[in-house]
Amino acid sequence: MRERLAFSPGQQREALLRLRRQFPQAEAVLLSTCNRVELYLAAEEAVRCPTHHQVVEFLAEFHGLDPATFFDELFERTGEDAVRHLFTVAASLDSMVVGEGQILPQVKSAYDQATAGETTGPLTHTAFQAAIRVARRIARDTSINQRRVSIPSVAVADFAKTFFERFDDKRVLVIGAGEMAEETLRYLIDEGAAEISIVNRSRERADRLAHNITGTVRPWEELESQLCDADLVVSTTGASEPIIDAERFAPIHRDRSQRPLFILDLAVPRDFAVEVGVFSDVYLYSIDDLSKTCEANKAAREKEWPKAERMIEEETARFMAELNHRATGPVIKRLRAQADNIKNDELKRLFNKLTDLDDRSRQDIEQAFNRLVNKVLHPPLESLRDEAQQGSPHGLLDAMKRLFQIKD
């Protein structure tokens, strides 16, 4: 289901444009990675945000799916829970591989793309900038991110290394030329891989990967022949459906003459159909197959979890307090302006009567009026700040508007 709901980079841009047209008063950020599809929405007023059902309808229409097939697979977080979830995701505490280094750049990229598409605003700016700060704090103050372990590193170290004793004599085929391919290739080179072929639909991107790392670029049309020769395949394309199914793989398998083939399919959606793994001497692993190893990874970092979770709670509480306090700003500004207008009117009336006052006396009277206004306003404003620390101060805000007759 995650594969069917995934967004390619191009689809992300198109989805954000559609969201902006459909819900012009809502802010939106779309995060789509190999392990999650998340849509963050925000607005000053709840009625301006799409409802849960509208989000489902949007996803269904965009991907051409029946809403009933995935409605129960979605979860919704609102308010403080949504902020806490974002912080947890950015800090890699919700990743398949806890502490992996890819998710924070992915969160930043999603935020940057939404900003470029003009679908962000004050709330999402504040939330995502805070999430980046929180993630860096946890990386700095805990050991969760020490010896960072990404999905490619788990794929190589915990899967490929259990299959191959050495890599320097293996023919490696990399299908795709994105970040996942590059990171996996780095790990393989560290393990001694030297004979590397790169196949990608975009020759330019393949050439760039070969230039940055290493490897020989082969034309996309040679994919079958390269699969015939390879010992280890790493596939990370952005294709919307499998590029190799059982029918296409059958002649490749025949030409391999029973030589073992190890395939790490790290693409979402997958590049190799599940049926390919049924062929003899083919060992096919997808991202989902990494989950057990990743759970072990979580257990190894378990002792750091309480510390990191406390930081998440602290930062979430701080964020919500600041957000709630910021919500009081317009009311406080109007209240002070209203009080200043009354004060200035009274001072003007008083000075018109006391025409023989010198400048020093005028200043003393003005200061006395200022202190009086500040002392009168202090209790209600202090109560408003305290209320914001505890949660949303809407009730007290409404009461103050009525008591002081503050107009929007």
Confidence of residue 146 (pLDDT cuts 50, 70, 90): low
Same domain, 97 and 144: yes
Residues 91 and 210 in one domain: no
Is 34 an active-site residue? yes
Asked whether residue 75 falls in the same domain as residue 188, the answer is no
Q: Name the H helices within 230-358.
A: 246-255, 291-300, 305-353
What is the C-alpha to C-alpha distance for residues 149 and 157, in angstroms, rounded to an integer?
Answer: 10
Average pLDDT score over the chain:
88
Tell me, yes or no, whether 37 lies in a domain: yes
Last residue of a domain, one of 106, 129, 148: 148
In this structure, are 138 and 170 located in the same domain?
no
Whether the pLDDT of residue 147 is over 60: the answer is no
The whole-number pLDDT of residue 392 equals 62
The pLDDT value given to residue 112 = 95
Q: Copy the structure tokens of residue 234.
A: 């790493």
User: Which of the following is catalytic: 34, 49, 228, 294?
Assistant: 34
Nearest residue to 152 (alpha-carbon basis) of 293, 295, 30, 38? 293
Torsion of CA 38, 39, 40, 41, to 10 degrees: -160
Q: Are residues 238 and 273 in the same domain?
A: yes
Instruction: Supply the DSSP string of 75-117, one letter for each residue.
Output: ----HHHHHHHHHHHHTTSSSSSTT-SSHHHHHHHHHHHHHHT
How much is the pLDDT for 126? 92
In this structure, the answer to whether residues 31 and 95 fall within a common structural domain is yes
Please tell me the distance from the alpha carbon of residue 184 to that of residue 174, in angstroms, as a whole number: 9
| C-alpha triplet 115, 116, 118: angle, nearest 5° | 60
Does one domain contain both 341 and 392?
yes
pLDDT band at 390 (very low <50, low <70, confident <90, very high): low
- With respect to residue 408, please indicate whether it lies within any of the assigned structural domains: no
- Tens digits of per-residue pLDDT, 346-357? 888 888 888 888
Whether 44 and 115 map to the same domain: the answer is yes
Q: Does residue 184 sit in the same domain as residue 275? A: yes
Per the structure, the count of domains in the chain is 3
Domain of residue 106, residue span? 2-148
Last residue of a domain, one of 123, 148, 173: 148
Q: CATH number for the domain including 267?
A: 3.40.50.720
**Is 303 part of any domain?**
no
Cα 244 versus chain centre, distance: 30
CA distance 18 to 312: 33
Kindly state whether residue 308 falls inside one of the protein's structural domains. Answer: no
- Residues 163 and 29 both lie in one domain: no
Residue 88 lies in a domain: yes
Domain membership flag for residue 359: yes
pLDDT digits (tens, 9 = 90+) for 178-212: 888 998 998 899 899 999 999 999 999 999 999 88
What percent of the chain is predicted at pLDDT more than 70?
A: 94
Residues 6 and 102 in one domain: yes
Question: Which tens digit of pLDDT belongs to each residue from 316-328?
Answer: 988 988 887 776 6
> Looking at 98, 114, 148, which one is the last position of a domain?
148
Do 229 and 171 contact (CB within 8 A), yes or no?
Answer: yes
Say which CATH number the domain at 19 has.
3.30.460.30
pLDDT tens-digit map of 355-386:
888 888 888 898 998 888 888 888 877 777 77
Query: Which range is most confident: 153-167, 214-228, 322-336?
Result: 214-228
DSSP 196-263: EEEE-S-HHHHHHHHHHS--EEE-GGGHHHHHHH-SEEEE----SS-SB-HHHHHHHHHHTTT--EEE
pLDDT in tens, 330-340: 677 777 788 88
Looking at the fold, whether 198 and 124 belong to one and the same domain comes out as no
316 within a domain of the structure (yes/no): no
